[in-house]
Structure 1
C-alpha cells in the first residue's frame, strides 16, 4: 500500500517506461514510412480508431472497477480480522479463569492467535502462476523500493516465538497451517471447558469467534486462489494492443489532411500524440493488472504484515506486556 498522497513521477514514469517505448516504436515506424517512402495507404480514417477506442475504454473501465473491488473486499476482510482478533483477545482474558495459571493460559491462547495471523499472511504471500509480481519485469524492478517481509524470513522461524516446539513441528507438517492452528485453538478451548475454566455459555461465544476467523480466512483464500477471470483480462489486453497499433495510423490520416496548410512537418506530430494517447490506455491496463491480486506482494497490496503487527501490539497490551514489538513502518512510502 502506498502511504503517500500520490505516486511521484520519478517512480511512476520508470514503472511505465516500457509503455512509452512501445508507443514510440509503434508511432515512429509508420511515420517514417509515410514521410520518407510515401506509403500513403498507412493513413486510415479516424472513425474505426474511435470505435475501437470506445470499446477499449469501456472494457478497461470495467476491469479496473472489478479489480478495485477485489482489493477493497480484501481490505474489508482484514478489517474484520482486526475486530475479531480484538474481540477474541478480550474474551480470552475475561472468560478463561483460573487463579493459579490463567495468565499462562491467556498468553498461550493469544500467542497461538499470533501464530494464526503469521501463518495466514505467509500463505497469502505465496506466489501463484497467474500473479504479476514476478512475471512482469517492471514489477520486479519496482521491488527495489520495498521488501516483502514474508519473502525475507521463514514461517518456521516466525512461529518459534508463538508456539511450543511440539506444536510448531506439527503445524509445519500440515498443508494448510492457518486452518490447523485454529483447530488447535478450538481443541484447547474444548479442554478448558471440560475442566471448568470456561463456562458453557462463554465456550459457545469463543467458538463463535473461531468460526468468524475461519470465515475471514476462507474469504482471503477465495480472493487469493481465484484469479480475476482470464477471459476479461485477455480481452482487455487484446483490445488495448489493437488500439495502440491503430492510433498512429489514425493520427497520420488526420494530420495528413493539413499538409497543404502547415507543410509535411505536421506529420511528425503523430509521434508525441500517439505516445500520449497510447500511454494512457496502456497505463490503465497496467494499473488494473497491478490491483487484481491484493495479496501477491505488489506495492499496491493490502498491508497484511502491518495489520498483523498492529493486532499483535494490541493483544500484547491486553496481556499487560510492556516490551512490545515496533509497528511496521513504510519503506519509500510502501507499506506491506
Structure 2
C-alpha cells in the first residue's frame, strides 16, 4: 500500500506512465502524419460520436474502479477486524485460562507457557493466513510461521491445503482440553470458541475475495473500450485542430499531445481499477498484510511481557507491504 501523501512522479511514470503514453503518442503522431504531410483526409471522422463514446467509457471505467476499490476496502476492513480479534483473543486467554475450583493444579510457570503457546499459535495463524492469501506458504512457512509454533504437529501443517484452518482447529482442540482439565469454565470455553469463530469468519471472507476474481466481463471490456476510444480519438480530433487555420499550417500537430494526454488519463483510470482488483497479491496497491501481522506480533508479545520485540515493518520507497 502506497502511504506517501502524494504519488512520486517516478512511481507514476513506472506504474502508469511511459508504456501507454508512448504507444498513444506514437499512434497519434502516425495519424497526424497521414492526415497532414501525406494528405490522407479520409481518416477524419466527426467529433460528436467520439465524444459520446468517451462519455460512455468514462462511466464504464468509473463503475469498474468503484467495484475494485470496494474489494480493496473490504479486505482492509477484514484485516482490521483480525487485529482487534487477535487482541481480544490475547485478553481472553489471560483472563479465562486460569485455575477454576475443582480443576487440576497448574504451576505458574506452566500457566505462563500455556498462555504463550496460545498467543504464539494465534501469531502463526495470522502469518499463515497472509502467506495462504499470497500463495507463498511453501517457500516461506519455515521462516515466517514455524518459529511461532512449538508443537511438531503444528509445524507439519505446511503441507495441508489450508494451513490457517488447521491451526485454528488445533487451537480449538487445545481449548477443549483445557475445559476438560478444569482450566476453563463452560462459559469461558464458549467465549473462546466464539473468538475462534470470528477468526474463521474473517478468514473465509478474505478467501472469498481472493478466490472470486473481479467479474472478467467488466475487467475485459473496460480495457477494450479504453483502447477503442484511444484509437478513435485522434481520428475525431485531427480535423478539429486542422480547422484552426488562423493558428498556422502546423497547428494540426498539436493534436498529438492533447490526444495522447486524454487517452493516457482514460487508460490510467482503467489501470487504477485493475490494480485494485485483488487486494492480497502483495503488490504496491494491496492491503499491507506483512505490516499488519507485525503490528499484531508486537502487541501480543508485549502483552506477554516480552521486551525484545521486532521493529514495525518499514515502507520501501513509500510502499508498505
Q: TM-score if structure 2 supplies the norm length?
A: 0.94
Judge which range, 163-172 or 3-12, deviates more. 163-172
> Any runs of at least 4 consecutive aligned residues in structure 1 with deviations exceeding 4 A, and if so which?
150-153
Which whole-Å deviations, capped at 9, do the CAs of 1:44-92 have from their partners, x for residues lacking one? 1111110110110000110111101110111110111011110001000
Counterpart residue number, 1:234: 220
Counterpart residue number, 1:40: 41
Q: Secondary structure at the match of 1:154?
A: helix
Counterpart residue number, 1:7: 7
Counterpart residue number, 1:143: none
Q: 1:236 to 1:87 in 2, by over 3 A?
A: same
Judge which range, 238-247 or 14-23, deviates more. 14-23
Which whole-Å deviations, capped at 9, do the CAs of 1:159-216 have from their partners, x for residues lacking one? 3311125224431231100000000000000000000011110000000000000000
Counterpart residue number, 1:216: 202
**Runs (5+) with no aligned partner, structure 1:** 127-149
Distance, in Å, in 2 between the alignment partners of 1:14 and 1:194 is 59
Distance, in Å, in 1 between the alignment partners of 2:306 and 2:316 is 28
Which whole-Å deviations, capped at 9, do the CAs of 1:91-130 have from their partners, x for residues lacking one? 001111144121010011111111101110001112xxxx
**Runs (5+) with no aligned partner, structure 2:** 100-105
What does 1:198-217 correspond to in 2, within 5 Å? 198-217=184-203
**Do the aligned residues in 1 keep the contact of 2:138 with 2:158 (CA within 8 Å)?**
no
Task: Give how far 1:258 is off.
Answer: 1.9
Distance, in Å, in 1 between the alignment partners of 2:184 and 2:145 is 27
Count of equivalent residues: 312
**Do the aligned residues in 1 keep the contact of 2:282 with 2:288 (CA within 8 Å)?**
no
Which residue of 264, 272, 277 corresponds with 2:262? 277
Which residue of 261, 268, 291 corresponds with 1:306? 291
Q: How big is the alpha-carbon RMSD for the aligned residues of Structure 1 and Structure 2? A: 1.5
Distance, in Å, in 1 between the alignment partners of 2:216 and 2:139 is 32
Which residue of 167, 175, 184 corresponds with 1:189? 175
Distance, in Å, in 1 between the alignment partners of 2:195 and 2:137 is 30
Q: TM-score if structure 1 supplies the norm length?
A: 0.90
Task: Give how far 1:158 is off.
Answer: 2.1
Counterpart residue number, 2:31: 30
